[in-house]
């Protein structure tokens, strides 16, 4: 079911039939798809800004990149398009088990727009792909509402999407999400590892928990080995395990773009990393030269309780840092003289930030001290 709907609902209405040689008899319900389209149309259009073409047809989305009108706050001299794609992973199993579907869409958007942001680009639009065993309009509405909420948090349009009902491929109650984002940056302002110098400061932006990585290990350890239930509320967490595991990935776009937007010419930000699978040791080396190291100081940022629970149940500390974000979901490498001012600006925007380390000469590695 194609979900490009800038000006209305374009899906043809299904006709109910009693014959057995129908799509419905094969497990695909066109009428349910129509109902879902009716529900999510207003949700999707809520993300549209003036750059979205709202009346061009129903098979593809169209977005105005740049043109000379005072309506828009900026035009690009040398625009470079940036794109990335990702999914939510096995976190969707937690959502399915809890029958709570309104947050994993935020995770889906976050995983792509946070990656895109590391280049210095601003997200423009997002498209999603939802595949499930059975198309239940109320569930589709919740899932797409989450995607729309993520787009609103990151200031991009949900330009369209696709919903696939595949009962032969997905077990009852199961579904998967994937998506991709497209953004734009000025060529001269793209991030480059060559700009990172010894002495640069590393600022860590707080995560909201596990985000969307390490769930295969977390589920096996907590739900299978420790036999905890999602409804359990361990004292160390202060909330139910399900709430902690389902908390959506934080989206850093608006806070970081505010920092980048302060500097018209030479920016003190020399590199940025989204801390996903691989943790701090696996992601920070991707944005520094092979002749530099990053030295991180333990204890300079708070670690959310969910990580302590995992370590308590048997994950070694080195594996914790290798798999999980450990409380830092995004990192900015900045010139040392600007670190304090950038932290203050991030905190004014509502984003907790900490000075967690520095750059030194080395071999492209991360050292935890």
Give per-residue pLDDT as tens, 289-345. Answer: 999 999 999 999 999 999 999 999 989 999 999 999 999 999 999 999 999 999 999
At 12, the pLDDT band (50, 70, 90 cuts) reads: very low
Q: With a cut of 60, say whether residue 361 has pLDDT above it.
A: yes
Q: How would you classify the pairing of strands 292-296 and 353-361? A: antiparallel
352 or 1: which carries more pLDDT confidence?
A: 352
Q: With a cut of 50, say whether residue 10 has pLDDT above it.
A: no
Please give the pLDDT value at position 7.
35
Q: For residue range 44-65, what is the model confidence (pLDDT) as tens digits? A: 666 677 676 666 556 666 766 7
CB 356 within 8 A of CB 321: no
255 or 2: which carries more pLDDT confidence?
A: 255
The whole-number average pLDDT for the span 250-255 is 97
Please give the pLDDT value at position 115.
97
The whole-number average pLDDT for the span 273-288 is 95
| Burial profile 199-213: b = 16 or more Cβ within 10 angstroms, e = fewer | ebbbbbbbbbbbbbb
DSSP string, 262-303: T-SSS-SEEEEEE--TTHHHHHGGGGS-TTEEEEE-TTSS--
The whole-number average pLDDT for the span 155-183 is 92
The whole-number average pLDDT for the span 22-37 is 56
Q: With a cut of 50, say whether residue 283 has pLDDT above it.
A: yes
**CATH class of the domain at 30-189:** alpha beta
Q: What angle (nearest 5°) sits at the alpha carbon of residue 342, between those of residues 345 and 339? A: 150
Please give the pLDDT value at position 265.
75
Closest CA to 257 of 356, 171, 155: 155
Phi, psi (rounded to 5 degrees) for 153: -65, -30
d(CA 275, CA 294) in angstroms, rounded, equals 14
d(CA 327, CA 322) in angstroms, rounded, equals 13
Q: Quick one: what percent of the chain has pLDDT higher than 70?
A: 81
pTM: 0.86
Q: For residue range 304-314, what is the model confidence (pLDDT) as tens digits? A: 999 999 999 98
Please give the pLDDT value at position 221.
95
Q: With a cut of 70, say whether residue 97 has pLDDT above it.
A: yes
d(CA 164, CA 174) in angstroms, rounded, equals 12
Give domain limits for the chain: 30-189, 193-368
d(CA 202, CA 74) in angstroms, rounded, equals 29
At 145, the pLDDT band (50, 70, 90 cuts) reads: very high
Please give the pLDDT value at position 266.
83
Pick the CATH number of 193-368 from 1.10.357.10, 1.10.3720.10, 3.40.50.970, 3.90.650.10: 3.90.650.10
Q: What is the mean pLDDT of the chain?
A: 87
Are the folds of 30-189 and 193-368 the same? no
Please give the pLDDT value at position 39.
66
At 40, the pLDDT band (50, 70, 90 cuts) reads: low
Please give the pLDDT value at position 211.
97
């Amino acid at each position: 079911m194609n979900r490009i709907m800038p000006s209305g609902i374009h899906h043809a209405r299904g006709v109910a039939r009693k014959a057995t040689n129908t799509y419905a008899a094969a497990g695909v319900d066109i009428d349910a798809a129509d109902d879902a389209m009716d529900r999510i149309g207003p949700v999707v259009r809520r993300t549209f800004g003036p750059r979205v073409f709202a009346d061009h047809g129903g098979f593809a989305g169209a977005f105005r990149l740049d043109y000379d009108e005072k309506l828009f706050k900026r035009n690009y001299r040398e625009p470079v398009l940036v794109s990335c794609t990702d999914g939510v992973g096995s976190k969707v199993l937690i959502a399915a088990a809890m029958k709570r579907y309104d947050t994993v869409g935020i995770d889906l958007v976050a995983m792509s727009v946070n990656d895109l942001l590391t280049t210095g680009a601003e997200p423009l639009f997002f498209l999603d792909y939802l595949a499930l065993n059975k198309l239940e309009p109320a569930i589709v509405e919740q899932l797409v509402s989450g995607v729309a909420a993520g787009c609103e948090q990151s200031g991009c349009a949900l330009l369209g999407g696709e919903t696939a009902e595949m009962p032969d491929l997905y077990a009852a109650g199961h579904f998967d999400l994937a998506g991709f984002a497209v953004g734009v940056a000025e060529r001269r302002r793209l991030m480059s590892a060559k700009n990172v110098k010894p002495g640069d400061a590393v600022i860590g932006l707080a995560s909201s928990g596990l985000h969307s990585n390490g769930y295969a290990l977390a589920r096996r350890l907590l739900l299978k080995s420790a036999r905890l239930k999602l409804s359990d509320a361990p004292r160390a967490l202060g909330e139910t395990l399900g709430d902690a595991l389902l908390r959506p990935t934080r989206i850093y776009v608006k806070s970081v773009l505010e920092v980048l937007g302060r500097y018209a010419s030479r920016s003190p930000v020399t590199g940025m990393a989204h801390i996903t699978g691989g943790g701090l040791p696996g992601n920070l080396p991707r944005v520094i030269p092979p002749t530099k190291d990053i030295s991180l100081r333990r204890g300079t940022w708070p670690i959310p309780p969910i990580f302590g629970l995992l370590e308590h149940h048997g994950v070694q500390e080195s594996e914790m840092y290798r798999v999980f974000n450990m409380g830092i979901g995004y990192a900015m490498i900045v010139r040392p003289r600007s670190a304090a001012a950038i932290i203050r600006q991030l905190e004014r925007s509502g984003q907790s930030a900490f000075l967690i380390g520095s750059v030194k000469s080395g071999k492209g590695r991360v050292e935890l001290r």
